[in-house]
Structure 1
């Protein structure tokens, strides 16, 4: 678009300079100079626009890194403060209920968050939400530092950060579509699939950094001899919580480099209009077989996979391998490292033909790998299973997001994304509570058959009764049509 404007202005300038004559001395030269000045100004404006558009994607990725590095810190610190022997030292059910408080608000507020994300200035919304997310982490840091940490405080933290996250998810995830679209307008070869994969890579890399840092909580970790054998830590939990709050606040600086973005106007006004917008989003999801299937799949993942991930793995870490925050760190870093590796491989392929087929195969392999945890295996074997699980998760997350972003109507994108995420977030609280109760009754190893069996049934339903297995990626179809 800007190139066409530049060409038009250049033609105007040349015409003004070469064809305009006047009996009054100097007028022709003045007109030519004016047209030249207009052309120069347009060239400068076009360059500024290009520069702003090119900065947007790196800025968006840094916003992604800010949130998920803090999330990585939280993934270790939250279960560690609840189950750790030096802090609350509570059981699996208590951890499951706390995780339910952390993910539960999304069930209530996520759909409203999708409506707000469409109507609001996306950049301003990200800035406000990052600042709001920093506050509970800072309050928790003060409580730990004063020795006043309580289970009620952890529940309140979970409810608060979970509520902010419910508004953050659709706002952040819908913006990538606009960022890629604007970048393509200035001649970039970035496809939506690649943009989503890059965002996923940034998420995984930032989570790994947060997980590694949080693993040094209250305990020294000695590096391998080939790295010098030096020790790192211990770092007090309150300092790590302070770092979590600061990292979230820094995300606001990167959000300033984003464009305002599109704001959808549905013609409805008032609070009750939000419910009409939500109903419209549900109709869009229900009318598209791919969107409906992906939402159902995410509900199953929330119940069977996230419940095992948030509850079973930390209890195995404590009761089977007798490890603390360093074990939680190693476990989660291994998982997200696997996810990062698979997302890097995916980034090489800008156009994947059978996205749905790849997604379901990865889900099946990841679910099947959990079964090996039913037996007594060495810690390195346990981490190997976790790594394979992470490889499958990286593929699943990138492909499912790409499918939904492609299939969703652009004017309902944030609402559709919020419904898709709701499938995931609605299942997570029930999964966490269920797995917490089963862990206390049967032990953490025997219940591995529950998530594996549950996901296998869902995958079989997806293969035989939904269009996901045979669908073709939109980027691949467009590329094939051009050939």
Structure 2
């Protein structure tokens, strides 16, 4: 008896083998079809999750630039307050002269010469987000301490020196940390489809800087003095605001940068492969080699050194003394002078932000520097106060152009894995010249006690010689900025 004809066992039924093959096919296909459906559903779920994550990441990256600009505003509004209060407390409240003001400004800018290069190394090795949070909190402490000294009536020149050293030290670490973050923010933003270029990012940061400084300068001008608004603004009065209250506000506003930094990505950190105590010096030496090997970078560093000596020295020392001795003004005069300067810088920065790419950045930079330097010669004529402010405004216009263009040139020319170190060396040129310029200008102002405006010849002549050298001996004048897509 064959298997086909065998008797069925109890419980078995006759089975059609041809039908069995069909049934088997159906039974086999059904589980596979379920797996296909499950796989498709899983793929759809993964795609949805990825889309949601991408949109969330896109929104997070988009929020970084506004957060960065708020960080910029936090620091520079406090800086604007400091620009008024620091010379005001020394020249008006303590009644000291140019030499003491120059030495105090040396204390304020001197730590950058010592710590700025180390700050660049730390900025590269550290995550930018926690570093900025720590530095903003640390910057609030000196202002809070000086506010307490003022509130208790114990102001002395020694406390101003301590404040200057403390703030200068924090600033030395802050500058490379904050400035190098912008390159990362713009880069991440471009990867999610944003059309903001590095030049525009620098312009936006410069606008935020100047706007915040102007706000801080205006507020600082109400220190210990009643100010009446013009009739067309309502004729109401503001102030006087005690200096210790303004310093407390300075501490609060700079501490707010800690909160704004939360919205930044953690940031990149660079590993150079070095370790031990000599690692930092090795990184610094490597940064110097990069700068010296690049004609654009070392030329910009040399230019900033000259700006520190001739421009910043005059700005921090000569102008406050002229404000007091020639025009007989106090904190309100310092406010008007500095607000006018930074308003000019703000206007030129807004104008530059319209352009995605400027082809001849170097020529624009050097031309602005030359015109600004020559404009201050009008001060020799001891002009009326409104003419003096007009000169300061023109100087500010030139400064806005030179700051934005020099930052763009350096950030574009620097290797991205050594950006913080290069920026710290570039800033060192600026900060190393500032204390020497402040001391030199303070001595020259005291040398001409009755006519401090004569000192304007020194920065004008010094910057003119430096700019002629830049045109003849460096590639800055002839350099071209190649826009993306045309490289």
Q: Do both proteins adopt the same fold according to a TM-score greater than 0.5, normalized to the shorter chain?
A: yes
Q: Could you list the per-position Cα deviations for residues 382-439 of structure 1 after superposition, in whole angstroms to 9, with x for gaps in the alignment? A: 0000000000000000000000000001111000000000000000000000000000
Tell me if 1:223 matches 2:229: yes
- Determine the structure 1 residue equivalent to 2:6: none
Q: Could you list the per-position Cα deviations for residues 253-307 of structure 1 after superposition, in whole angstroms to 9, with x for gaps in the alignment? A: 1100001111000000122110000000000000000001000000000000000
- Determine the structure 2 residue equivalent to 1:386: 392
- 1: CA distance between counterparts of 2:36 and 2:269? 45
**Contact 1:118/1:415 (CA < 8 Å) preserved in 2?**
yes
Question: Where do 5+ consecutive residues of structure 2 fail to align?
Answer: 1-28
Deviation of 1:465 after TM superposition, in Å, equals: 0.4
Tell me if 1:432 matches 2:430: no
- Determine the structure 2 residue equivalent to 1:98: 104
- Determine the structure 2 residue equivalent to 1:233: 239
Deviation of 1:24 after TM superposition, in Å, equals: 5.3
**Contact 1:70/1:207 (CA < 8 Å) preserved in 2?**
yes
- 2: CA distance between counterparts of 1:170 and 1:320? 38
**Matched ranges for 1:49-60 at <5 A:** 49-60=57-68
**Matched ranges for 1:67-216 at <5 A:** 67-84=75-92, 87-216=93-222
Tell me if 1:245 matches 2:242: no
Q: TM-score, normalised by structure 1?
A: 0.94
- 1: CA distance between counterparts of 2:287 and 2:51? 41
**Matched ranges for 1:29-48 at <5 A:** 29-48=37-56
**Contact 1:405/1:413 (CA < 8 Å) preserved in 2?**
yes
- Determine the structure 2 residue equivalent to 1:18: none
**Matched ranges for 1:353-368 at <5 A:** 353-368=359-374
- 1: CA distance between counterparts of 2:155 and 2:136? 24
**Contact 1:100/1:430 (CA < 8 Å) preserved in 2?**
yes
1:415 partner SS:
helix
- 2: CA distance between counterparts of 1:286 and 1:292? 6
**Contact 1:22/1:28 (CA < 8 Å) preserved in 2?**
no
2:241 partner SS:
coil
Q: TM-score, normalised by structure 2?
A: 0.93
- 2: CA distance between counterparts of 1:438 and 1:28? 86
Question: Where do 5+ consecutive residues of structure 1 fail to align?
Answer: 1-20
**Contact 1:170/1:417 (CA < 8 Å) preserved in 2?**
yes
Q: Could you list the per-position Cα deviations for residues 448-471 of structure 1 after superposition, in whole angstroms to 9, with x for gaps in the alignment? A: 100000000000000000000000
- 1: CA distance between counterparts of 2:248 and 2:397? 31
Tell me if 1:259 matches 2:298: no
Root mean square deviation of aligned Cα: 1.1
Tell me if 1:301 matches 2:307: yes
- 2: CA distance between counterparts of 1:116 and 1:250? 22
Deviation of 1:380 after TM superposition, in Å, equals: 0.1
Deviation of 1:31 after TM superposition, in Å, equals: 2.0
Deviation of 1:28 after TM superposition, in Å, equals: 3.0
Equivalent of 1:317 in 293, 317, 323: 323
- Determine the structure 2 residue equivalent to 1:415: 421
Q: Could you list the per-position Cα deviations for residues 181-236 of structure 1 after superposition, in whole angstroms to 9, with x for gaps in the alignment? A: 00000111100000001000000000000000000000111111111011111110
- Determine the structure 1 residue equivalent to 2:405: 399
- 2: CA distance between counterparts of 1:159 and 1:24? 74
Equivalent of 2:69 in 61, 72, 76: 61
- Determine the structure 1 residue equivalent to 2:290: 284
**Size of the alignment, in residue pairs?**
458
1:387 partner SS:
helix
2:278 partner SS:
helix
- Determine the structure 1 residue equivalent to 2:480: 472
- 2: CA distance between counterparts of 1:421 and 1:60? 20
**Contact 1:127/1:252 (CA < 8 Å) preserved in 2?**
yes
Deviation of 1:89 after TM superposition, in Å, equals: 1.0
Deviation of 1:444 after TM superposition, in Å, equals: 1.4
After TM superposition, the structure 1 stretch with the greater mean CA deviation from structure 2, 99-108 or 35-44, is 35-44
Equivalent of 1:375 in 373, 381, 384: 381
Equivalent of 1:460 in 431, 452, 468: 468
Deviation of 1:32 after TM superposition, in Å, equals: 1.9
Evaluate the alpha carbon distance shift between residue 82 and residue 43 of structure 1 in structure 2; reply closer, same or farther with a 3 A threshold. Answer: same
- 2: CA distance between counterparts of 1:404 and 1:333? 27
Deviation of 1:25 after TM superposition, in Å, equals: 6.5
